[in-house]
Amino acid sequence: MPLADKIRPTNIDEVVGQSHIIGNDKILNRIIKSSFLPNMIFFGPPGVGKTTIAEIIAKESNKNFYKINATNSSLDDVKKVISQLDTINSLGGILLYIDEIQSFNKKQQQSILEFMENGKITLIASTTENPYHYVYKALLSRSSIFEFKPISDIEIARGLKRAVEILKEDSYIDINYTEDALMDIARVSDGDMRKALNTLEMVVYSTRPNVNNIVDITPENVKKNTFNKILNYDRDGDSHYDILSAFQKSIRGSDPQAAIHYLARLIKGEDLISICRRLLVIASEDVGLAYPNAIVIVKACVDSAMQIGFPEAKIPLAQATLLLATSPKSNSAYLAISNALDELENEFIMDIPNHIKDAHYKGAKDLGRGLEYKYPHDFKNNYIKQQYLPDNIKNSEYYKPQNNKTEQNIKKYLQYLNESN
């Protein structure tokens, strides 16, 4: 039996992590100790205790427990559970645990709705994905949602100490460890207790005992027997969009340290296209007219990165990231086009003024096209005041210069033009 199964907690006090929901007097702790058991959805990364806590709840509830993994189950498996309703096996009610529920389609998820509503089935579902994106809305509305967090290094190290004692008893191996070694295992596990236990087991069984027949778990032995840290990164999952969001918000917030950190995480996932696309967006959305040349430099960096590929692409990507993070910021271009689009969506817009309509065809003058148009280059400063917007929105203001050097110069220039007429 894998160490992760041997050490699996049998009561809530043995669970490592998730103190925000299972700590003393926290909501899930109170639910477990009460007789009331709502439908629940657990979501969070792998190896953080979702299945363990579901099994503890089942044990405490005295309900008949059925477990289905949606990745390798079908609608028939759900129907088999439903067929147990109103039999002697379901007198105390049925607790159905569906692991990885995001793998079930809408029809499969809908199949249990009727029985959830009449109380014959209590559902606990778990998912590594955001349930608001992957779980059918009718299920969501009938369930309490609990987010599970990655387990801290300190909490994982504490769990590893308990695991060492179990390994000693189980395998009759004498094991010594250092605190630093357990923390090293915790760090490469990236908040995943299951991964940490598997790593510990591999280190113990692949390390040769010393002359006293003791297995020493040291930082050196951990390093020799573990692979590189694997980050929680899925290009099609929530973590992908969370990291991209944090990346852009760090640049927008002018924090070069955080921006480089999230860039590194994206690079670890070798997600070149998403990085390049996001940098180009940021250059216009968040820096914009405060430093108009930023997009030129970023485009050059992005082109370089795309041409040379990883691993060297990290260098121009870092250059573009730091340039944007340390540049003055303006979202005036973003606001201007958003305001214009909102107006188109919500207002009736009259026709384009005749004098600026296309007049390059025979008969245009007969239709009144272009007759009163004034060619700006024929006037002083290449400017003449005339109406360009439709009549009912002629005073609309979409672009408002912001308080940075470049746009203050734009503001002065526009004021100068208006005053010169």
**What is d(CA 372, CA 369) in angstroms, rounded to the nearest whole number?**
8
H or E element that contains 273: helix 272-282
**What is d(CA 142, CA 242) in angstroms, rounded to the nearest whole number?**
26
Domain count, the chain: 4
Residue 9 inside a domain? The answer is: no
Instruction: Tell whether 379 and 261 lie within a shared domain.
Output: no
* Tokens coding 285: 């959305």
Instruction: Tell whether 39 and 140 lie within a shared domain.
Output: yes
Bigger pLDDT: 58 vs 49: 49
Q: Which residue type is seen at 93?
A: G
Tell me: pLDDT of 368 over 60: yes
Instruction: Tell whether 262 and 367 lie within a shared domain.
Output: no
Q: What is the pLDDT of residue 232?
A: 53
Tokens 């590929």, residue located: 309
Question: Residues 194-213: pLDDT tens digits?
Answer: 989 988 988 888 888 887 88
* Tokens coding 385: 């005041």
CATH number of the domain residue 31 falls in: 3.40.50.300
* Tokens coding 143: 């369930």
- The dihedral through the CA atoms of 216, 222, 226, 232 has a sign that is positive
Instruction: Tell whether 43 and 141 lie within a shared domain.
Output: yes
Among the candidates 199, 224, 249, a domain finishes at 224
**What is d(CA 93, CA 84) in angstroms, rounded to the nearest whole number?**
10
Q: What percent of the chain has pLDDT over 90?
A: 38
**Cα first-last separation, the chain:** 86
Residue 373 inside a domain? The answer is: yes
Mean of all residue pLDDT scores within the chain: 87
Instruction: Tell whether 243 and 352 lie within a shared domain.
Output: no
Tell me: pLDDT of 371 over 90: no
> Region 369-378: what's the mean pLDDT?
89
Q: What is the pLDDT of residue 173?
A: 77
Instruction: Tell whether 171 and 123 lie within a shared domain.
Output: no
Q: What is the largest CA-CA distance in the chain?
A: 106
Instruction: Tell whether 204 and 247 lie within a shared domain.
Output: no
Tell me: pLDDT of 420 over 80: no
Q: What is the pLDDT of residue 296?
A: 97
Range with the lowest mean pLDDT among 42-46, 118-122, 378-382, 391-395?
118-122
Helix/strand/coil for 146: strand
Question: Residues 19-45: pLDDT tens digits?
Answer: 899 988 888 888 888 878 889 999 988
Instruction: Tell whether 143 and 160 lie within a shared domain.
Output: no
Question: Residues 344-364: pLDDT tens digits?
Answer: 888 888 888 888 888 888 888
Q: What are phi and psi of 284, to 5 degrees?
A: -95, -40
Nearest to 39 by CA among 135, 191, 144, 167: 144
Instruction: Tell whether 356 and 304 lie within a shared domain.
Output: no
Q: In this structure, what DSSP letter does residue 283 have? A: I
Tell me: pLDDT of 394 over 70: yes
Instruction: Tell whether 136 and 203 lie within a shared domain.
Output: no
**Whether the Cβ atoms of residue 123 and residue 116 lie closer than 8 Å to each other:** yes
**Whether the Cβ atoms of residue 225 and residue 241 lie closer than 8 Å to each other:** no
Question: Residues 71-113: pLDDT tens digits?
Answer: 888 888 888 887 777 666 556 678 889 999 988 888 888 888 8
Residue 6 inside a domain? The answer is: no
Nearest to 131 by CA among 69, 40, 70: 40
Question: Residues 221-233: pLDDT tens digits?
Answer: 888 877 655 555 5
Residue 4 inside a domain? The answer is: no
H or E element that contains 122: strand 121-127
CATH number of the domain residue 371 falls in: 1.10.3710.10
Residue 8 inside a domain? The answer is: no
Instruction: Tell whether 132 and 64 lie within a shared domain.
Output: yes
Range with the lowest mean pLDDT among 235-249, 260-274, 328-342?
235-249
Question: Which residue segment(s) compose the domain that 28 sits in?
Answer: 18-147
Question: Residues 132-171: pLDDT tens digits?
Answer: 888 888 888 889 999 999 899 999 999 999 999 888 887 7
Tell me: pLDDT of 58 over 80: yes
Q: In this structure, what DSSP letter does residue 352 have? A: P
Residue 230 inside a domain? The answer is: no
Q: What is the pLDDT of residue 229?
A: 57
Strand blocks (E) in 252-409: none
CATH number of the domain residue 202 falls in: 1.10.8.60
How big, in percent rounded to 5, are the helix, strand and coil portions of the chain? 55, 10, 35
Instruction: Tell whether 139 and 168 lie within a shared domain.
Output: no
Among the candidates 280, 301, 325, a domain finishes at 325
Q: Which residue type is seen at 261?
A: H
**What is d(CA 180, CA 290) in angstroms, rounded to the nearest whole number?**
48
Regarding beta strands 144-147 and 64-69, do their DSSP bridges make them parallel or antiparallel, or are they unpaired? Answer: unpaired
Distance of CA 25 to the CA centre of its chain: 29
